[in-house]
Amino acid sequence: MPAERTLHVSESNVDVIVFPDAAAAVRSAAERIARIVAESVAARGKAVLGLATGATPEKVYDDLAARVRAGTLSFRDVTTYNLDEYYPIQPVDPRSYRSYMQRFLFDRVDLAPNRAHVLDGTVPEAATAAHAAEFDRWIDADGGLDLQLLGIGRNGHIGFNEPSELAVEAFASQPTRVVGLHPITKTDAIREFGSLEAVIPRALTMGVRQILAARTILMLATGPHKAPIVARALKGPLTANVPASLLRTVADKVVWLVDEPAAAELG
Ligand code: F6R
């Protein structure tokens, strides 16, 4: 199997690490997360991670759980904040991102329950803004995110920050909040909900401000269905209409981990 290669995207002046297959990209993501945990804990006694759900990171969490079982990684000094959650939804609902995180990571590692934060899909409607603001305050009080793990939606969303007509600066400063889901996001959520009608059309999402403030951002994109949007994010205009293109504004701390099929339109 050939090794990874670095591909320079001249349109955005961004380097992308391209792996022969998804498994190699996943392994690299898990290795980097484990390293950042070790370095942050050594430097300041704790690590604060921003985590994603979806199909892409499932195997990253398998890898991290295996490291914990093997005794080479611990979440004892880790605090996590997830990107998003459907709204409204019960945490015990198997389609909630809280359930996903319990299944794929939290129940398998030594992470304290009061340090594994997922936005709460049960807060009263009138309290969503206060809850979202509180979530941002918790992250800020924790010293910000050492790492944010991201996937990319087929419409370019990061978290559930959906394509927008806002100016780049206004979009980049958006806080955590309630959003309506984009038609492409709803279509892709059929995987979890079974039908378009069943998809919960709103969500709470960490805002772009908090994502871009993370000290390291890992963007993991795998599979041929991600090739067009990866190319738009890196070769197209810098615009809130393609939310992931805003990662170019903080390019020095973003690591793009992409497999060959997802990199197909970058060359
Ligand atoms: C999930 C999230 C989303 C996903 C994106 C890609 O917490 O915030 O932005 O990362 O929709 O999803 P998958 O990995 O299922 O293709």
C-alpha 68/C-alpha 72 separation (Å) is 6
Dist. CA 243 → ligand 1 center (Å): 13
CA of 124 to the centre of ligand 1 (A): 25
Query: Does 12 score more than 80 pLDDT?
Result: yes
Q: What is the pLDDT of residue 24?
A: 98
Instruction: Give the mean pLDDT of the chain.
Output: 98
Told to judge if 162 belongs to the known catalytic residues of this protein, a careful annotator would answer yes
159 lines ligand 1 (CB under 6 A): yes
Segment 14-41 shows an average pLDDT of: 98
Q: Which one is the CATH code of 22-256: 3.40.1190.20, 3.40.50.300, 3.40.50.1360, 3.40.190.10?
A: 3.40.50.1360
Judged by DSSP in three states, 190 sits in: helix
The structure tokens listed for 153 are 């939606």
Closest CA to 51 of 192, 141, 147: 147
How many Cα atoms sit within 13 Å of 47 on the Cβ side? 24
Encode pLDDT of 50-72 as tens digits.
999 999 999 999 999 999 999 99
Query: Is 4 assigned a catalytic role?
Result: no
Q: Among residues 136, 184, 185, 139, which one has the least CA distance to residue 160?
A: 185
Instruction: Give the C-alpha distances (Å, rounded to integers) separating 200 from 96, 163, 167.
Output: 10, 18, 28
Reply yes or no: is the peptide bond before residue 88 cis, omega within 30 of 0.
yes
Q: Which two tokens stand for residue 253?
A: 């701390």
Assign 3-state DSSP to the chain and report helix, strand, coil percentages, each to 5: 40, 20, 40
Identify whether 155 is a catalytic site residue.
yes
Rounded Cα–Cα distance for residues 249 and 197 (Å)? 37
Question: Using 50, 70 and 90 to split pLDDT, how confident is the model at 267?
Answer: confident
